[in-house]
Amino acid sequence: MKLLDIANRYYLITLVLVFTIGSLGAYYVLKSIINHEFNEKLYAEQAQLVYELRNFENLQRTYYLNIGDVIELEEAPTDPKLSPTLKDTIMYDQYEKKELPFRMLTFSDKINGKHYIISISKSLLPNLDLIQGVTEIMIGLAIVLMISLGLLNRLIFQKLWSPFHHIIAQLQHFKISHPVPLSMEDSDVEEFNQLGNVLEEMISKSIRDYKNLKEYTENTSHEIQTPLAIIKNKAEMLLQEPLEEDQLNEVSKIYEAATRLSRLKDGLSLLTKIENNQYVEAQEFCLKEFLETKLQTFEELMEIKNITLQTEFIDSQKVMINQDLAHILINNLLSNAIKHNVNNGWIKVKLEKNRLTISNSGNTLIVPPKELFERFKRNTDNRESTGLGLSLIQRICEHNHMTITYNHQNEQHELKLSW
């Protein structure tokens, strides 16, 4: 959710709460004021009515003072001694032709030697009309205020946050392999200027570190390659000499160690290049044709172990991936299926829509499948394995927005590639 939407949501919730609480408070305050005014009028009318009843002889059961006001007199045999009591009630209004709320004052008095229970009722219809009018005005103001604040907030955000969105747009297109300096917009907001300065420093440092790491990797790979080649050549020459068996074994170990170190150097160098996004160019090619070509190159290795191959190509879709990474990915998947297979085993290659599954027979795993994707993690103590094969596969998949899963059951292994 965008920051503007979150801010508007909080503004809306706050306004609703404030207006709800304020409206309830205004309603009760207004009602209290109106009731107080009605009470004062009722007490005044009480004094006026008693005065008139004591000074005029014509008494009727019901009197009408103002429009909507009702007076009722009920003769009592004894003095009821009722103190003035105020209450709200519902009565039928002759003018409105319906039941309406009234404010009633009830009291007792002695008039011309007789005791009476007198009630004076005043219609609360003006009160209801006033409260309804105030409520409509408050609701209208609330709606206008919410709309105005929403529009004003959007305009303010668009203007004030323009430098921030400019920074985000540049960061989204920034690539460490092809760095372009950031151009910051001048802003009156100090925080955005500080953010731009900090980002410029971070990006400059990242570019320097990337270049240093790239140079270090290339230099190290180049410098190590020469002595390794010398060691391997010297070992090969010694293996051809008429040496004793113990000496041949020692030289053979040197040659194997140099070969393994050379593969390890190539694997680590490749991992570093992938993680530094040096393989950015992708192209579209048919995965089915690519697999068929690769499987032909592995036929001789499968014949050595007498491995049976079964293929099922249901789909022949095209895939977007860097060509060099595609070769490394498929080579590692197929070579692992052969290298970690057993004699007289089998391999199944199944290509479906958005999925490639390579299954093979093999020995039972002694480590969890997830751990095999870690660097230098191996299921066996085979010296020929560098422990980087599955790690390379996983990094290539992450680089190309693919997922790789390893399922294992008894002596059956399955690597599933999805995109």
- Residue 256: CATH number of its domain: 1.10.287
Cα separation, 320 vs 400, in Å, equals: 8
Mean pLDDT of 39-58: 77
Q: Are strands 98-111 and 114-123 parallel, antiparallel or unpaired?
A: antiparallel
Same domain, 145 and 229: no
- Residue 34 identity (one-letter amino acid): I
The larger pLDDT score, comparing residue 9 to residue 311, is at: 311
Q: What is the pLDDT of residues 349-395, one digit of tens each?
A: 988 888 889 899 988 776 766 666 665 555 554 555 555 667 778 87
**Same domain? 74 vs 131:** yes
Give the range of the structural domain holding residue 198, as residue numbers without chain letter.
192-275
Q: Check residue 103 and give its pLDDT.
A: 83
Positive or negative CA dihedral for 289, 291, 293, 296?
Answer: negative
> 132, 155, 178 — which closes off a domain?
155
Residue 181 lies in a domain: no
Same-domain pairing of 145 and 208: no
Cα-based angle 62, 63, 68 (whole degrees, multiple of 5): 110
Share of the chain above pLDDT 70, in %: 83
The Cα 226–Cα 12 span in angstroms is 70
246 and 102 together in one domain: no
Residue 165 lies in a domain: no
Report the DSSP beta bridge partners of residue 86. 105
Q: Give the CATH number for residue 352.
A: 3.30.565.10
pLDDT tens-digit readout, 101-139: 888 888 888 887 888 888 888 877 777 777 777 778 878
Domain count, the chain: 3
Domain co-membership, 310 together with 378: yes
Of 155, 179, 200, at which residue does a domain stop?
A: 155
**Helix or strand run (H / E) with residue 195:** helix 190-239
